[in-house]
Amino acid sequence: MNRSRFILTISGALVAVPMVTRAQVSTRPRRIGVLSPGPVAGEEFEECLAELKTLGWTPGENIFVEPRSAAAELSQLRLLADELVALKVDAIVTYGTEATASRQ
């Protein structure tokens, strides 16, 4: 095998590995934390859940949503963020600057 063919083969393999990894379907349910300074319900939240369903994620089945609301008590955001971290959610979605900055 000549040098250029070897380099092309290795390069192709390195590109293919992430694609194969992404294609694997996880059997483990995922958990998403939602952190909001106000109510977590609403049109935006419902649209987000609907979009997850179109992607194959069914709330309560293969994805679980852990909503946390500070109910306008901004001082509670840090505690709620810590709670979501302790739950080891796979991702945290925040509403507003206060919620996003609560763990800094």
pTM strictly above 0.75: no
CA distance 4 to 74: 60
What pLDDT is attached to residue 79?
A: 93
**E strand or H helix that includes residue 23:** helix 3-23
Q: What angle do CA 22, 26, 32 make, to 5 degrees?
A: 95
Is the pLDDT at 8 greater than 50? The verdict is no
Cβ(82)–Cβ(102) below 8 Å: no
Category of 96 on φ-ψ map: left (φ > 0), alpha (ψ -120 to 50) or beta: left
CA distance 98 to 73: 11
What pLDDT is attached to residue 16?
A: 47
Write the pLDDT tens digit of every residue in 26-70: 578 899 898 888 888 778 788 888 888 888 888 889 989 999 988
Write the pLDDT tens digit of every residue in 66-82: 999 888 888 889 999 99
